[in-house]
Amino acid sequence: MKKIVVIGGVAGGMSFAARMRRLDETAEITVVEKSGFVSYANCGLPYYIGGIIEHEDSLLLQTPESLWKRFRLDVRVDTEALRIDTQAKQVDVVNRANGREYSLSYDYLVFSPGAAAIRPNLPGIERSLSLRNVEDVKRLFSVVASKPKSAVVIGGGFIGVEMAENLHRRGIQTSIVEAQDQVLMPLDPEMVTFVHDEIRKHGVRLHLGSALESISPTSVSLVNQTEIEAELVIMAIGVRPEVTLAKAAGLVIGDRGGVKVDQFNRTSDPSIYAVGDAVEKIDSIDGHGALVPLANIANRHGRVIADHIAGKKIRPVDAQGTAIVKVFDLTVATSGWNEKRLKAAGRDFMVVHNHPASHAGYYPGAQGMSLKLLIDPTSHKILGVQGVGRDGVDKRIDVIATAMKGGITAPELADLELAYAPPFGSAKDPVNMLGYISENVLDGLTPTVQWSQVEERVSQGYSIVDVRTTDEVDRGTLPGAINIPIDEIRERRSELPLGKILVTCQVGQRGHAATRLLRELGYEAVNLDGGYMTWSNSPANNIEKVGK
């Protein structure tokens, strides 16, 4: 009979424990959880604060009693692990309710303590609240119920943005403070502009590029001398792996600060496995350690550990970092690496932008979206994808994330046979279109220029030709652009500038056709990837869109 102790519940720990029981009815499985709740939907906590999830009980998935009844799991809440003795193979714990200390022996230990909220040592920090568990949400809910007039969320990551939206939904004047120059760091600059606009449109104030300096009883002060009224302050600047016990036990910690594990989630001690936010996952792009604090992969790795202990054949599971967040009426989703990370790593890559509709444009209700694909120019492997829009973003990112996992290259996205009917998509789905565009660029059929390269190309002697209609151009175009609508190019050929031409349109589609025409006519022409929409949503150009 195997004796197994699990430190920490929720996604990774409980996924392991339930799977282990299904594989081995005789195993003695004990779960110790420091908090009072072992199985809850922590991703739903912001929506309970906002009142979208009306009842707290909806967040509680299992209790110690239900887990014992179904799985015969010995779950001990309010029980904290104090130390791990790897030589004696035992865990010393304390019952936080009565202070009683005792030891649990193990054949296998599963380490799943999660991550701790980062709380900088600043004046007044004790007044701020965090949101990591049910106890946190109870404290925060009681403050929100007192109807504060103002709130400041420190941090513009996924949780920070979700919290700001839900506080706003409660009628609280809310501000987001982010030390970086943008929220949602997985997005690249030209993609996050849509998010900034959406947040501001709903009345949430953004304070970007300035960090928190101190918290007073009524406000917060930033390092740029800005003071913001704040009856409620929420810290959401991120989390760090909770590895105190692991370090004390002599387990190897990786370069990113999480517990280092192998492909089976086994630590440097072969009797101890680790899972969840405390662990460094294996990154799918470069194979190095990565911190990916997401529930999906925690659940999957819990199952991997159980299978390995039970002697089953294992499929190693690396991490792509696929994530999604609701920002008011926008859906924002990513998978893989962004452009900033690829540049920092010195990797070669190619970029494709597209701005398709969520379904057939002639069917009512079609919504626009923006997609960005990052591609290895040699292997054509998909390195990352980002999507922002009001409808249909989730399924496109999921399809591409699946393609990445399956080794489908960027051009091969054109070959995917996806479900189509006018209410749901287009005959050429946005995913297919990314494949077509990628193939055109990789084959050299239509050379492209990125929004960030326009000034450089102009300095190299390129003239800009905008092939949209006159009405479109009157609403904004690139500085110095000549307007010749695509349908008039042949007749107005004499008006084309001599030398090299940079073609632009609204989203890149007409630009592709015009670039092909010009190249057939003997011109050296390149297309602005993503067109005016991508260029105008870049950080500098979004401030002032140039009119004709």
Query: What is the set of active-site residues?
Result: 43
CA distances in angstroms from 93 to 90, 105, 106, 403, listed in the order given: 10, 11, 13, 45
Specify burial of residue 97 (Cβ count, 10 A radius: 0-12, 13-18, 19+): exposed
Two tokens, residue 158:
């996924």
Two tokens, residue 540:
């500098």
CB 414 within 8 A of CB 382: no
Rounded to an integer, what distance in angstroms lies between the CA atom of residue 210 and that of residue 180?
Answer: 7
CB 495 within 8 A of CB 320: no
Query: Which position has the token pair 């008006």?
Result: 495
What values do phi and psi take at 323, rounded to 5?
A: -150, 155
Rounded to an integer, what distance in angstroms lies between the CA atom of residue 128 and that of residue 140?
Answer: 10
Rounded to an integer, what distance in angstroms lies between the CA atom of residue 40 and that of residue 465?
Answer: 56
Rounded to an integer, what distance in angstroms lies between the CA atom of residue 206 and that of residue 31?
Answer: 42
Amino acid at 61: L
Specify burial of residue 163 (Cβ count, 10 A radius: 0-12, 13-18, 19+): buried
CA distances in angstroms from 327 to 163, 344, 450, listed in the order given: 10, 28, 27
CA angle, residues 221, 224, 229, in degrees to nearest 5: 30
Three-state DSSP at 110 gives: strand
Amino acid at 293: P
CB 450 within 8 A of CB 351: yes
Rounded to an integer, what distance in angstroms lies between the CA atom of residue 472 and that of residue 480?
Answer: 15
* 473, containing H or E segment: helix 470-474
CB proximity list for 356: less than 8 A, separation 6 or greater = 368, 369, 371, 426, 430, 433
Return the DSSP state at 449: E
